[in-house]
Amino acid sequence: MLNTNRIKFLLNLLFVLFFLIIVDRLAGTQEKLGYGLLSIINSYINWFKNNFILDLIFTLLRVFCGFIIASIFGILIGLFTGRYVKLLEGVIHILNYLRAITPVALAPFFLVFFGISEISKILLVAWGAFFPIWVNSYLSIIGLSEDMKDSAKLQGLSKFNLFRHFYLPATISGAYPGARIAIGISFILVFISETLGADYGIGYQLKLAYDTLQINRMTAALLLLGALGLLADKLFVFISNNLAPWLKYERNENYG
């Protein structure tokens, strides 16, 4: 009788093989099996010889800066809108209205207002990443029970310490799943921003490949974006567990 670990290994192996076959067929539809993967490897080799490091650095910096901006504002605004719901009800409605507007549709407006610059690209990433972080932060404060609030007040905490030791940790805990969603959104939007005007970036290379119908280069760029998104998510989980160790005890163990 096969044990659980062996079954898990076999299932994962089958999934990887299935995924590689799909990628191979995407990059080399009318060629022999394996040709597509080989053409992707050749695309990476040629890319390494031509600005690969610069493309990688520019994309990662845009994602990182946009995500940091979104995290700071998402947590702070989530904290205050959740804490002062009645006072800031109008702000909450406006944010929910803006949340319904897809960032992709706003990309040309960012280009017009901020020009073909790093600011427009970073702010577009920050805009899209902000909302899942804000929503989760806001809901985490709304979800706090009155008993917990009363208990904290009975401890004699000042308003500052109440924010620092009670509301802020709750907001960060709530923002955690939203931040992981925001990482994926950041990589989607950095691609959009780089196709609208850039000299370097993975999205820029993907657009060049699309314009010349080089499927192997397109597939290589897409695979790299996906890999970077996965690595960024794992890095975020690792850093979060060390900076805010209570998070790993509050989430489902299978989630991280």
Backbone angles phi, psi at 255, to 5 degrees: -80, -30
Q: What is the pLDDT of residue 256?
A: 45
The pLDDT, as a whole number, for residue 130 is 95
Task: Compute the mean pLDDT over every residue in the chain, rounded to the nearest whole number.
Answer: 83
Given a cut of 80, whether residue 75 has pLDDT beyond it is: yes
> Predicted confidence band at 1 (pLDDT cuts at 50, 70, 90)?
very low
Average pLDDT over residues 76-98: 88
Please determine, for residue 157, whether its predicted confidence score (pLDDT) is greater than 90. Answer: no
Q: Closest Cα partner for 69 from 200, 189, 156?
A: 189
Helix (H, G, I), strand (E, B) or coil at 246: coil
Distance CA 111, CA 121 (A): 8
Q: Does 148 reside within a domain?
A: yes
Weakest mean pLDDT among 27-41, 62-76, 140-154:
140-154
For residue 205, what is the domain's CATH number?
Answer: 1.10.3720.10
Instruction: Give the pLDDT band (50/70/90) at residue 82.
Output: confident
Residue 15, domain member (yes or no): no
Model confidence over 217-241: pLDDT tens digits? 888 888 899 899 999 999 998 888 8
Q: Is residue 13 part of a domain?
A: no
Evaluate whether residue 159 is within a structural domain: yes
Q: Is 5's pLDDT higher than 80?
A: no
Model pLDDT for residues 103-122, shown as the tens digit of each residue? 888 888 888 888 778 888 99
**Residue 28 in domain:** no
Domain that holds residue 168: 51-250
In a domain, 118, yes or no: yes
> pTM of the prediction?
0.83
Q: What gap in Å lies between CA 35 and CA 19, rounded to an integer? A: 15
Our CA dihedral for 59, 60, 62, 68, rounded to 10 degrees, sits at 160
* DSSP 8-state secondary structure symbol assigned to residue 155: T
Name the nearest CA neighbour of 20 among 31, 7, 33. Answer: 33
Residue 174's pLDDT is 83
191 near 203, Cβ under 8 Å?
yes
pLDDT of residue 250: 54
Q: Residue 214 — φ and ψ, nearest 5°? A: -95, 90
In angstroms, rounded to a whole number, what is the distance separating the alpha carbons of residues 74 and 138?
9
Determine, yes or no, domain membership for 43: no
Domain count along the chain: 1
